[in-house]
Structure 1
Amino acid sequence: MKWTGWLTAILLLLGGGSQAQVQLNLEDAVAGKVIQTKGMGAMSWLKDGEHYSRVEANPEQGGTDIVSYRAKDNEREVLIPASWFVDKATGKSVPVRSISWSADNSKVLVYTNTQRVWRYDTRGDYWVLDLSDKSFRQIGKDRPESSLMFAKFSPDASKVAYVSENNIYVEDLTSQSVKQLTTDGSETIVNGTFDWVYEEEFGCRDGFRWSPDGQYIAYWQSDTEGTGVFDIIDNVDSLYPKILHFPYPKAGTTNSAVKVGYVPVNGGATTWIDIPGDPRNHYIPRMEFIPNSNELFIQQLNRPQNTNKVWIAQIGSSQPKHIFTDEDKAWVETNDHIRWLKDNQYFTWESERSGWRHLYRVSRDGKDIQPITAGDFDYISTVGMDMKKGLVYFIASPDNYTQRYLYSAKLFGKGEVKRESPMDEAGQHSYSMSPTGKWAVHTFSNAVTPPVIDMVSFPGHKSVRMIEDNAEAKAQYKALGLNPKEFVKAKSGDLMLDVCMIKPVNFDPNKKYPVIIEVYGEPAGSTVQDVWSGGDLWNQYMVNQGYIYVSIENRGANAPRGREWRKCIYGEVGTFACEDQARGIQDLARQYPFIDLSRIGITGWSGGGSQTLNCMFRYPSVFHTGIAIAFVSDQRLYDTIYQERYMNTPQNNPEGYRKGSPITYANGLEGNLLLIHGTGDDNVHYQSCEMLVDKLVEYGKMFSQISYPMRSHGIYERKGTSLHLRKSMAKYWLEHLPAGGK
């Protein structure tokens, strides 16, 4: 379709011919107005495992109610009416961002007035509601506004601990007295939370833990002194630039020094746990109390992240005991969802030691390691456990790597697994399971089916009732008359790759069409997924301008295809990805003559932007037009934890960094290239774009560029940004990659 400037595609209903037309408007698609799905929203299972709570708007009184639903029959009860969330001093309602329950469900913490810290709103104000007397008061009132982080009840709900300005505090809910547990917090000493790189790459935000007896708090401390500081320049919000400084360790440079310790809640000195190893060249990404004990279970990674040592530390001592080591020639992951079995005699552990990711049962001394799941498939993630029946429920997909299903296995069995998800629902299944493993909120979707949510009971995966069928969203999607996303295969040498494809509604198999490839290609994610993605409206919009959409899952992508698939790229991130993308699209063209190999475009975001550049620079005869967004041009510019996990350090692997970095091959650019980057990107810095631009100019290469002032890695902040981004991309494709079948 010729570019008109209106960015509107007129689509015919499937099979409808001229009898009906439905308009797919890009502005509405970007604003989320075309297909409106309904979900569960935030929910929390209550302690009894028979009820869950939700935060719901109160249309009559305003504000929000906390409502419980009984799993068995959907009996609804307003646990906390909106009228209870009122500041008695002002008479005003306190907005509820989220809530957390005390262990005995007698009190509720309300999180409100939140502020964003990097990616998430992790700083704000907290209020405590006591259900016994309906008292509602703010905690930490002597602290600066919106400065509290990660507030949580003590096990007996008599106190609340929180972080403010890098120090840890405990507030007694009866006396309202506040005890400051740490005093050395500063711009460089971080207590109870984490620096940028731990948050981004290990998912570490909440940095302290209550002991089960409520007498101690264990916490992380980061010393960022000596870590390289990155500056982001804000040129748009004031007459003179503002500069944001933050520690950011780039690959091969100095990390923060991180240690863990524990402190009495009544005050006193911190006991630091003496874990061997240079704290700047080791990581401590996980620490939890073993249930019903005063023992800490600590995971320590070495800097290359190919060894995970497990330690147990006892309150009252500074000397930990090493019990277990998991290692890999490439890298190991942190272990989450650890569960302790048989009075803490065993713990669960995920490992790829067999060549596939599986769940193991490890004895407390680390000497007895037995598989809970076994076979030539990957254990993807834990859903929950039924401890009475001795079962673990988990997600896997042995037969189709683009889909996800629920399986179960015996915790003390021989590795046999059983599929639980319905056989007639092909796609992806996810679950929020009750603490008892008896109930779960089940969500099913696939690429053409909006989420269907029901309550299921176990054992047997019996559907008890429908919660949300999204029939309206399904009708809205159907009315657009779009061609569905298809899942096919392509070859890269002898390797078979998963591929998805979308064709335009007026597709003519006798014509040849240009292709827009969407790529990610790095170990942190995957793109070929048989799951609802809002109808893929952006891709559908572009397809119906006269393109074919394709995404190819290259080696190294995070797909459940075994250790070798994921880790064969170790030390060479970026090299295999572009090779598979080039071979994959050429093989698709051999299979499908309607693919025009003279009109191949490619685009990606973040790691996908990097792979877009590698493809454009290294295979210019294959890829003719590219749009690279928020990309890493030189792998030395990215952070230590992510880049070194897959590449080791630049000092130890200089050739791998050279080969994997697009900037190395910038002189190979022959086609049309658009670079897009946010100048406020704290993740992949705008520096990466500037360095590439400098190199392209040196080589006399022509390109286009859009810089979005003070937008972060997602390039969505500030009015009009998302629509402008998509309009710019559409305009570039239509001007530089001729659309339509020929």
Structure 2
Amino acid sequence: MKHSRTTLLLMMTLTTALAVAQKPTPNLKDYTDGKYSPTSKGSDLRSLPDGEHYTAMDKLGTAIVRYEYRTGRVVDTLFNTRTARECDFKNFEGYEISPNGHHIIVWRESDEIYRHSQRFKAYDYDVRRKLIKPLNESGRKIMLPTFSPDGRMCAYVADNNIWIKKFDYDTEVQVTRDGATNRIINGSTDWVYEEEFAMTRMMTWSADSRFLAFVRFDESEVPEYSMQIYGEKTYYPSYYKYKYPNTGDRNSTVSVHAYNIETKDTKTIPVPLDTDGYIPRIEFTTVPDQLAVMTFNRHQSLFSMYFANPASGVCKLILKDENTRYINPEWVRTLRFNKNGFLYVSERDGYAHIYQYAPTGVEQRQVTRGNWDVTRLIGLDEATNTVYFEAADESPLRRSVCRVDAKGVKTNLSKLPGTNAATFSKNYAYYVLRHSSATTPTIATLHETKSGKELRTLQDNAQLRERLAKLSYAPKEFFTVRTADGVELNAWMVKPADFNAKKKYPVLMTQYSGPNSQSVLDRFEFGWEECLAAHGVITVCVDGRGTGARGEEFRKCTYLKMGDLESKDQVAAAKALAKQFPFIDASRMAIWGWSFGGYNTLMSMSVGEGTFKVGIAVAPPTDWHYYNTIYTERYMRTPKENAEGYALTSPIKLAEKLTGKLLLIHGTADDNVHFMQTMDYAETLVQLGKQFDMQVYKDRNHFIMGGNTRLHLYTRMTDFILENL
């Protein structure tokens, strides 16, 4: 009997092991097809002004449906292509609802311009008449439809000029007439503002709908960049030209203007601004005659906010924040106004924390404090004076959703460890919580704010969890690595499913490493690393100095020498890993990255003295002289001011020291990191007699996507790693 039981247990163990062994491993095609990516339902909910209802598009893009927060019950359908009068299209891509609910702008046939911007055909749906027609008489594509607070008008940008649609009279008014491609932009932003301040809308309505304020960009003196476009149906290439300021070059000259709806006059607002300064944001407060104009000096070390009167033009300094290095523009973009003042995040005590101000600019209280960073300011519930935010309060690897009440009591609204984010209703009565961890795909749940009670699950990604359960892979492991000079860095590791500690494994280090970025986070990511593990390659990610959520000093210690410490930390981490883990083969280590990660790959292979046998650099900056003003000068100042720093951190200047087998990859139509950077680096290697591999993608931008491109890209990189490690 005892013998039979032992035999049975042995058979069960062998059967289980066989079942695990027979599970398929992750594969590149499924990864690049998005089969390992969680869906994001819950992020598309839009709160209506009453805070008790929200809207969402149906799955087919044919209707806008209104729901009740508490129950999830469908209340009604606000717009439907099948029932709208004179609607000649079946679906649409996006929408905006007027504050009074009388008009809905829907759009379709969108064209992507750059990272955040797009133009599209827009239509006005008159809710009361159930009638839809083109928003503008010409039918040309527009940008940035912006409703007036009273809902009776909508401003938009077309061909670099601002127009206003007046619904009551069914008329259009042209506000500006000097807009011209690569010269003058009204109401939207130039390329570098869009990319580095993440802003496209530069127009705002006064609370009483009497004024429309906007920023005018004069980019006439900004150097022009020309990209060759090869196309598909021509034997000759064309050229795309746009304004792109490299470090030290001229930026657009910016000015603020206020258009009076009644008189149709436009006044220039004399905002105090250096000739080479920036205006990253303008916003009317809740007070009709208060236009908040936010400015940076060129170094982005001095932030000033003025309240300007749109009628008189008088400006008054309300807030000033100065830093010895630089100020994160995220805190300017997310500064929140309310009836009793505003909220702003500053790093004045060494960590990113929230401060509350009166309308006069007088500080009322420091809302958050501690040796941790606020990572996102959500807003203020004015009824209770409660502030909501996201923070790395538990660990730099995690994110919590928190609130601080009027008495200063802090409460964590997210109970599960990992990465949490939230979107609140207009009245802060409800919130959608999105949670994920290294082992849990995104779960979106709807909660009542006061009690914290979970009302229902919006998305659990059950299908993805089931798909992953059928695969053979090892879970991501988090740990710390201490470099030879005593710096402790956060890291994660992905091992093969059949890992054997007695074997020696090759290692690919993956990283981004850019300022205030984080790659080592307890969040769900599944893809190439798991595919490589199926081929016996361990992947390790280490966040070096300069990365986020560890206080101001840790993220800003790279100032004026961006790339120096970042690359040294990857080299030091690689050496420490080989000592810390006996199963790591120090002779078979590789490093790769994209964009800044590609740059840091080149730097690490140049200062590593043979640490890395293989490297892959995708779309890499190769010398900071080539990159744009706003980003580079924030961390490096201008080449004239910091010649030594630019020379110290240039892969081109360090190319002679490059060791290891290198694969360079770039898209020829990259508007961000120009293909020219890779070409100049490649030429440097050629003249030095250094062999390398190169992969070019025709007419692809910084993201290198489209058709079969992603599968080809990751197959190319996988083959290169396996062949050379």
TM-score by length of 2: 0.94
Q: 1:537 corresponds to which residue?
A: 527
1:289 aligned residue (278, 284, 287): 284
The alignment status of 1:525 with 2:517, answered yes or no, reads yes
Q: Does the Cα contact within 8 Å between 2:116 and 2:194 map onto a contact in 1?
A: no
Amino acid at match of 1:687: M
Give the aligned partner of residue 106 of structure 1. Answer: 102
**Among candidates 135, 139, 150, match of residue 144 of structure 2:** 150
In structure 2, the CA distance between the partners of 1:55 and 1:92, relative to structure 1 (3 Å rule), is: same
* Alignment-mate amino acid for residue 504 of structure 2: K
Partner of 1:6: none
Aligned to 1:476: 467
Query: Residues 200 and 34 from structure 1, CA distance in 2 versus in 1: closer, same or farther, beyond 3 angstroms?
Result: closer
Q: Is the 8 A contact 1:170 1:265 kept in 2?
A: no
Identify the residue that residue 630 of structure 2 maps to in structure 1: 641
Per-residue deviation, 1:524: 5.0
Deviating beyond 6 angstroms after TM superposition, the runs of 4 or more aligned structure 1 residues are none
| Inter-partner Cα distance in structure 2 for 1:487 and 1:267 | 63
Contact 1:330–1:570 (Cα < 8 Å) also in 2: yes
Which residue in 1 is equivalent to 2:426? 435
TM-aligned CA deviation for residue 292 of structure 1 = 3.4
2:471 counterpart letter in structure 1: L
Please, what is the CA RMSD of the aligned residues?
A: 1.9
Aligned equivalent of 1:506: 498
Instruction: For 1:79-158, list aligned pairs within 5 A.
Output: 79-80=77-78, 82-83=80-81, 86=84, 88=86, 92-120=88-116, 122-144=118-140, 146=141, 148-158=142-152
Contact 1:232 1:243 (8 Å CA) reproduced: yes
Q: Which of residues 198, 209, 215 in structure 2 aligns to 1:214?
A: 209
Residue 653 of structure 2 is aligned to residue 661 of structure 1: no
Q: Residue 574 of structure 1 aligns with which residue?
A: 563
* Equivalent residue runs for 1:221-620 within 5 Å: 221-237=216-232, 238-266=234-262, 268-279=264-275, 281-334=276-329, 335-341=332-338, 343-344=339-340, 346-368=341-363, 370-410=365-405, 412-414=406-408, 416-422=409-415, 425-492=416-483, 493-523=485-515, 525-533=517-525, 536-557=526-547, 559-620=548-609
* 1:250, distance to aligned residue in structure 2 (A): 0.3
Cα deviation, residue 458, structure 1: 1.4
- One-letter code of the match for 1:182? T
1:625 paired with 2:614, answer yes
CA distance in 2, matches of 1:260, 1:16: 70
Deviation at 1:13, TM superposition (A): 11
Checking the alignment, whether the CA contact within 8 Å between 2:116 and 2:200 is kept in structure 1 is no
- C-alpha displacement of 1:478: 1.6
SS at match of 2:26: strand
Instruction: Give the CA deviation at 1:20.
Output: 3.6
The alpha carbon displacement at 1:32 in A equals: 1.8
Using the alignment, how far apart are the partners of 1:639 and 1:695 within structure 2? Answer: 22
Kept in 2: contact 1:678–1:710 (CA 8 A)? yes
Deviation for aligned residue 1:337: 3.1
Once residues 593 and 78 of structure 1 are traced to their aligned partners in structure 2, the CA distance between those partners, rounded to angstroms, is 63
1:369-400 Cα shifts (integer Å, max 9, x gaps): 53111111111112343222211111112231
Deviating more after overlay: 685-694 vs 150-159: 150-159
Is the counterpart of residue 708 in structure 1 residue 697 in structure 2? yes
Deviation at 1:703, TM superposition (A): 0.5
CA deviation string 1:661-700 (max 9, x = no partner): 1112100122100000111000000110011011111111
Aligned counterpart, 1:179: 173
Give the conservation status (yes or no) of the 8 Å contact 2:269–2:310. no
Cα deviation code 1:438-486 (max 9, x no counterpart): 1111111111111111111112422112222222211111211210111
On the 8 A contact 1:386/1:438 being kept in 2, the answer is: no
Deviation at 1:173?
Answer: 1.3
Greater shift, 577-586 or 647-656, is seen at 577-586
**Equivalent of 2:188 in 193, 196, 212:** 193
> Is the counterpart of residue 64 in structure 1 residue 53 in structure 2?
no
**Cross-structure match for 2:161:** 167
1:730 aligns with 2:725: no
Pair 1:683 & 2:672 matched: yes
The Cα of 1:229 is off from its aligned counterpart by 0.5
Per mean C-alpha deviation after superposition, the further-off stretch among 519-528 and 26-35 is 26-35
Letter of the aligned partner of 2:700 in structure 1?
Answer: R
Distance 1:676 1:142 in 2: 42
Greater mean alpha carbon deviation, residues 76-85 or residues 383-392:
76-85
Q: SS where residue 57 of structure 1 aligns?
A: coil
Deviation for aligned residue 1:40: 2.7
**Residue identity matched to 1:347:** F
* SS across alignment from 1:22: coil
Q: Is the 8 A contact 2:227 2:239 kept in 1?
A: yes
Change (3 A) 1:564 1:121: closer
Structure 1: give runs of 5+ residues left out of the alignment: 1-11, 738-742
Shift of 1:143: 4.8
CA separation in 2, counterparts of 1:350 and 1:649?
Answer: 26
Mapped to 2, the partners of 1:160 and 1:314 lie a distance apart of: 22
Shift in Å at residue 72 of structure 1? 1.2
Q: Which residue of 2 aligns with 1:9?
A: none
8 Å contact from structure 2 (residues 663, 692) kept in 1: yes
- Give the deviation of 1:336 after TM superposition: 3.0
CA distance in 2: counterparts of 1:244 and 1:553, whole angstroms: 37
Following TM superposition, by how much is the alpha carbon of 1:267 offset from its aligned partner in structure 2, in angstroms?
A: 5.7
Are 1:21 and 2:23 matched, yes or no?
yes
* 2: CA distance, partners of 1:479 / 1:413: 50
Q: Does the residue aligned with 2:154 lie in a helix, a strand or coil?
A: strand
Question: 1:149 Cα deviation (Å)?
Answer: 0.8
Aligned-pair distance for 1:142?
1.7
Amino acid at match of 1:407: C
| C-alpha distance in structure 2 between counterparts of 1:56 and 1:190, whole Å | 35
Contact kept in structure 1, 2:514 and 2:546, CA below 8 Å: yes
Cα offsets for 1:183-214 (capped at 9, x unmatched): 11112011011110000000111121111111
What one-letter code is carried by the residue in structure 2 that aligns with 1:156?
A: D
Q: Counterparts of 1:179 and 1:92 in 2: how far apart (Å)?
A: 26
Residue identity over aligned pairs, in percent, reads 32
Deviation of residue 38 (structure 1)?
5.6
Relative to structure 1, the CA distance from residue 656 to residue 15 in structure 2 (aligned partners, 3 Å threshold; closer, same or farther) is farther
Equivalent residues of 1:295, 1:312 under 8 A apart: yes
C-alpha contact (below 8 Å) 2:433/2:447 kept by paired residues: yes
Please state whether the residue corresponding to 1:220 is helix, strand or coil: strand
Deviations 1:503-541 (CA, angstroms, capped at 9, x unpaired): 0011100111110011111115221111112xx221110
- Whole-Å Cα distance in 1 between the matches of residues 319 and 226 of structure 2? 40
Q: Does 597-606 or 468-477 show the bigger shift?
A: 468-477
Q: How many residues align structurally?
A: 707
Q: CA distance change for structure 1 residues 130 and 86 in 2, over 3 Å: closer, same or farther?
A: closer
Moved more, 26-35 or 194-203: 26-35
Q: Distance in 1 between matches of 2:698 and 2:311?
A: 52
The structure 1 residue matched to 2:683, chosen from 663, 685, 694, is 694
Distance 2:383 2:362 in 1: 26
Moved more, 17-26 or 40-49: 17-26
Tell me, in whole angstroms, the C-alpha distance in 2 between the residues paired with 1:20 and 1:236. Answer: 45
Match of 2:226, as an amino acid? D
Q: Give, in whole Å, the separation in 1 of the partners of 2:407 and 2:130.
A: 48
Give 1:257 shift.
Answer: 0.4
- Aligned residue for 2:715, secondary structure, equals helix
Against the structure 1 CA distance between its residues 85 and 186, is the aligned structure 2 distance closer, same or farther, given a 3 Å change threshold? farther
